[in-house]
Amino acid sequence: MVLVTELTRMLGIKHPIVQGGMQWVGVPALAAAVAAAGGLGILTALTQPSPDALRVAIKETHKLMNGRPGRFGVNITLLPSITPPDYAGYVKAAMDEGIDVFETAGNNPGPIIKLIQTYKAPGQATVPKRYIIHKCTAVRHALSAQKMGVDCLSIDGFECAGHPGEDDIGGLVLLARAAEELGIPFISSGGIANGRGLAASLALGAQGVNMGTRFMATVESPIHENIKEKIVASNEKDTVHIFRTLKNTARVFKNKVSTEVVALEKRPYGAKFEDLRDLVSGARGKVVYENGDPDYGIWSAGIAVGLIHDIPTCEVLCDRMVKEAEDVINRLDTKIAKAKL
Ligand code: NAD
């Protein structure tokens, strides 16, 4: 079963499925598994403690591919951070290792996009073609990234895990608006976890999908089994927004810590980031994935948790989604054909 789209043609991948760049989750084991399954695997740059560690992770991912066909890229997310990262250093390290697909996201991406488009790695006489998929949550940001010359946009609806922006536009309208305005390919992100979501995305004009939360609950995902099972047991009401009052909104799993953060933000005098720092730090959230205690810290999850009912391998998941999407498309086609008779 194959669905050929502008995304699969552009990147030479089998399935129109991109793995989201999840903090602490986008590690070599998962990126290689998604790549080998025919999707685009993504290594999350900031999950590595330094640009040099990212180089090691890229080498490890190649090793795990073990000669199998497949493609992976690197995510770089530009958002407020407790310790501001060396974004340019990470991106240069990736390009030095031959990475030619990037998922960029976050605020003020212009300088990083320019760097990816113009950098000559040591030994390169000319700048090689590198593909940039820029993730954004508003059509105006998508248009501005299009002007910067990115190759594809990842249109992130309000359903998404992590940072949905501040406009609160769900995928159904956001994707249809993207289709009206954009002149380059785009994929859908946020709320996608099965073949219905893939078929709906294609119907809305997208050339594929980006999934984060769905890939967290896979065999090859590096997170603790308890958290995978927690995702399977959850429904679409089990996430919450933190940082609304700081204009850095993030959708995360509803647990003791996120509930406390929201309560602090709701105080009549609100909360400053400093009041929340110890509760929300990524270092603490990482422990959730290591010790399997879903209440230990903040961890990202989209409302797609309500659509996740098992823990398949990435290969089973990708093949199944494409088959389901094709079934949906064929069923609609048959119904429409019958209605015309
Ligand atoms: P961190 O420990 O630096 O910060 C924890 C959370 O607090 C993050 O959501 C961050 O955006 C937010 N934050 C930090 N400083 C802030 C401030 N001054 N005002 C408002 N909010 C603030 O984050 P981390 O978990 O180590 O992640 C590092 C970076 O990667 C962060 O910018 C984070 O947002 C981003 N991120 C990336 C992905 C991804 O998919 N690549 C996913 C989630 C988060």
CA separation for the pair 163, 150 (Å, rounded): 21
pLDDT at residue 13, rounded to an integer: 98
Average pLDDT over residues 44-49: 98
Determine the structural domain holding residue 219 and report its residue range. Answer: 6-225+304-340
* 308, part of any domain: yes
Cα torsion through 142, 168, 39, 130, rounded to 10:
20
Residue 340 has pLDDT above 80, yes or no: no
Average pLDDT over residues 33-48: 98
* 97, part of any domain: yes
* 233, part of any domain: no
Residues 21 and 137 in one domain: yes
Instruction: Evaluate whether 3 touches 322 at the Cβ level (below 8 Å).
Output: yes
Residues 171 and 256 in one domain: no
- Any atom of ligand 1 within 6 Å of the Cβ of 296: no
Average pLDDT over residues 261-284: 97
Q: Check which CATH number belongs to the domain holding 160 and give it.
A: 3.20.20.70
Residues 68 and 41 in one domain: yes
Distance of CA 162 to the CA centre of its chain: 9
Residues 81 and 141 in one domain: yes
pLDDT at residue 56, rounded to an integer: 98
- Any atom of ligand 1 within 6 Å of the Cβ of 21: yes
Return the best residue to mutate from 44, 46, 241 for the ligand 1 pocket (most ligand atoms within 8 A of CB).
46
* 30, part of any domain: yes
pLDDT at residue 239, rounded to an integer: 98
Residues 19 and 156 in one domain: yes
Residue 90 has pLDDT above 80, yes or no: yes
Residues 192 and 260 in one domain: no
Is 65 in a helix, a strand, or coil?
helix
Residues 259 and 211 in one domain: no
Residues 189 and 157 in one domain: yes
Residues 135 and 245 in one domain: no
pLDDT in tens, 206-238: 999 999 999 999 999 999 999 999 999 999 999
Residues 308 and 296 in one domain: no
Residue 335 has pLDDT above 90, yes or no: no
Number of domains in the chain: 2
* 206, part of any domain: yes
Residues 204 and 329 in one domain: yes
- Any atom of ligand 1 within 6 Å of the Cβ of 107: no
pLDDT at residue 171, rounded to an integer: 98
Residue 1 has pLDDT above 80, yes or no: no
In this structure, the residue with its CA closest to atom 44 of ligand 1 is: 23
Residue 334 has pLDDT above 90, yes or no: no
- Any atom of ligand 1 within 6 Å of the Cβ of 138: no
- Any atom of ligand 1 within 6 Å of the Cβ of 248: yes
Residue 341 has pLDDT above 90, yes or no: no
pLDDT at residue 338, rounded to an integer: 79
* 232, part of any domain: no
H helix intervals, the chain: 6-11, 28-36, 51-65, 87-96, 110-118, 139-147, 171-181, 195-203, 213-216, 225-233, 256-265, 273-280, 282-291, 314-340
Q: What is the distance in A from the centroid of ligand 1 to the CA of 282? A: 7
Return the best residue to mutate from 43, 75, 82, 277 for the ligand 1 pocket (most ligand atoms within 8 A of CB).
82
Instruction: Evaluate whether 42 touches 239 at the Cβ level (below 8 Å).
Output: no
CA separation for the pair 286, 321 (Å, rounded): 29
Residues 94 and 214 in one domain: yes
Residue 336 has pLDDT above 90, yes or no: no
* 145, part of any domain: yes
| Geometric angle at alpha carbon 89, from 84 and 92, rounded to 5° | 145
Residue 127 has pLDDT above 80, yes or no: yes
Is 95 in a helix, a strand, or coil?
helix
Residue 338 vs residue 319, higher pLDDT: 319
